Each structure stands twice: as C-alpha cells, then as structure tokens.
Amino acid sequence: MAVDQLGVSSSEISFQSSNAWDAAGAGAFGFKVAWINRFGQQPERLGVVADAELKDLAALPELL
C-alpha cells in the first residue's frame, strides 16, 4: 500500500480518479480525493464523498 511504501498517513495522500467507484474506495481508506467527473455523473451511493469534484484535470493544480 502507498501508506507503507511512502511512510505517510492516508490523509497525506491525494488520489485523483475519473471513476466514481475508485474515488469512493480511496475516500473510505482516508485519502484526500479529487473526483474528475467529466460527464456529470452521479456519485456512488457508498457513504463516501470526494473532497473535491472537478470537471477536468485543468483545475487540479489549484487544488493541490
């Protein structure tokens, strides 16, 4: 796992994905999540919300 390899806590890792399922899983693990929602999809109903929802990667540098 990334936390073991990097020697950091999960909250110190930023995870970006265009897949809502992957974003929800990363959020459940404690990662800071940016969901790249290019097509305006509904989030997965898993009880986990992304920290940020972006339309495309152009907005990502501001977030980081």
Instruction: Give 16-45 pLDDT, tens digit per residue.
Output: 999 988 998 999 999 999 999 999 998 878
Residue 30 placed within a domain: yes
Residue 22 placed within a domain: yes
Percent of the chain with pLDDT over 70: 100
Residue 31 placed within a domain: yes
Residue 63 placed within a domain: no
Residue 14 placed within a domain: yes
Residue 8 placed within a domain: yes
The Cα-based distances of 20 to 5, 7, 59 in angstroms read 25, 26, 18
pTM for the full model?
A: 0.83
Q: How many domains does the chain have?
A: 1
Structural domain harbouring 20: 1-38
Helix and strand numbers (H, E) in the chain are 3, 3
Average pLDDT over residues 53-63: 93
Residue 50 placed within a domain: no
Most confident region among 1-5, 26-30, 44-48, 60-64 by mean pLDDT: 26-30
